[in-house]
Amino acid sequence: MRQHLLVDECALLDLASSACQEALAFGVNENAFERLARSVEFKCQDGMPAAARDVVSERLRQVNDEGYQPLRDDSYRNKELAHAAACYALIPPAEEGRTPNCPPLWPWPTASWKPRGRRENLVRAGALILAEIERIDRSLKDAKP
């Protein structure tokens, strides 16, 4: 019985989290909704550390909001995802009014280079590494008879 309630509760919490994200997009009391969204996500993750949760959330955002689907990731055969992750992991954080130059290792057009603060850059790097691991796993699965 309790397990059934947890599933329903998570579905409701996911709905609440989505509503919070939509409210954030419209600029409604950003701090309150961000705290609520994080607490909702934490409850659904059964104690997953915030850093891991944020990396997974960023990966889902890349797929769902930016359209970086697995099929697209599978086309990267020259370590592009790992190189992009390295760029975000190693670049100094953006300072107000100044964006760090696009590193030479960046594998895509300069316009797609969008560094932010140190933690957000590391979360993006983690999500890109996750994408590369998923790509490798799919290629190994496809290679098996």
Arithmetic mean of pLDDT, 101-114: 93
The full set of domain ranges for the chain reads 1-47, 48-145
**HSE of 121, CA atoms in CB hemisphere, 13 A:** 19
pTM: 0.66
Residue 15 has pLDDT above 50, yes or no: yes
Quick one: pLDDT band at residue 95, thresholds 50, 70, 90? Answer: confident
Q: In Å, how far are 5, 17, 34, 39 from 46, measured between CA atoms?
A: 14, 15, 19, 11
Torsion of CA 43, 49, 50, 55, to 10 degrees: -110
Q: What token pair was written down for 110?
A: 């300069």
- 3-state class (DSSP) for residue 104: coil
pLDDT (tens digit per residue) in 61-88:
999 998 899 899 999 999 999 999 999 9
Dist. CA 120–CA 92, nearest whole Å? 11
Cα–Cα distance for residue pair 124/31, rounded to 1 Å: 21
What pLDDT was estimated at residue 5? 39
Which of the 8 DSSP states describes residue 26?
A: T
Q: Does residue 4 carry a pLDDT above 50?
A: no
**Rounded distance, CA 127 to CA 5, Å?**
31
